[in-house]
Amino acid sequence: MSSDLKIEGLELKPGFKGMAEDTGSDQTMFKGVQWGKVMMWIFLLSDTFVFSCFLISYMKGRASTVVDWPNTSEVFSLHVGSTPVPLLLIAIMTFVLITSSGTMALAVKYGYEKNRKMCGWLILATAIGGLTFVGMQAFEWSKLIHEGVRPWENPFGAKQFGSYFFMITGFHGTHVSIGVIFLFIYAYKTFAGHFDKEKRGWFTTMKGGYVEIEILGLYWHFVDLVWVFIFAFFYLW
């Protein structure tokens, strides 16, 4: 009688060698699910905890301060001619980012349909949308810095405002910037036909495919969703 074990068609060798092979074959733990997609979900779950801690800390700090909190409608207003328009820039930023989420979803759709040209252009449009968002956020930062807002100082009211603002929007902006870099890379890979040929990636020996675009889409949708919460709690509250 053989001492080898079989689990759902997977042959496991006895001893330390079998244990090492079983541990190294983590892809079989999630049958029918691409392991990269599982790893992305785990990363997004951990990132959710980080952003949640930031937002909870912000709400706790704002609720406990005895100094008047700045009026966000005035702080983040943008002058059109001589008329200040409350939250105009923030509204445009939100529209651009949510629109880019739609183009990313369409890119995934056309990717699985093997429509390389449409998929590539939609990824490129998503990247441009993300780059536009980062540019507008940089303008917002420079405007507030020019007006005297610092992580340790705030001429509009409570000093904690500056530290929370730069920490939360900066951390989110970093995520968007990283996403934009990968979007441009994936746009190039799509136009070059790497996903059609299932060419191996730059940092892995595994063959790629259009599922990689879906994985990147998960990250981008997460970034968009986080911004919705930042917009609601930081700018509207």
In the chain, the domains with their CATH numbers are: 1-32 (no CATH), 35-236 (1.20.120.80)
Q: Which of 67-81, 118-132, 148-162 has the highest mean pLDDT?
A: 118-132
Distance, CA of 111 to CA of 120 (rounded, Å): 8
Q: Torsions phi, psi of 10, nearest 5?
A: -95, 120
Between 208 and 97, the higher pLDDT residue: 97
Nearest CA-CA partner of 170 in 71, 103, 178: 178
**What percentage of the chain has pLDDT greater than the value 70?**
82
Looking at the predicted structure, is the pLDDT value of residue 5 above 50? no
In the chain, which ranges are continuous DSSP H helix?
15-24, 35-64, 72-75, 88-112, 116-146, 160-191, 211-230
CB atoms within 10 A of CB 156: 18
Looking at the predicted structure, is the pLDDT value of residue 192 above 70? yes
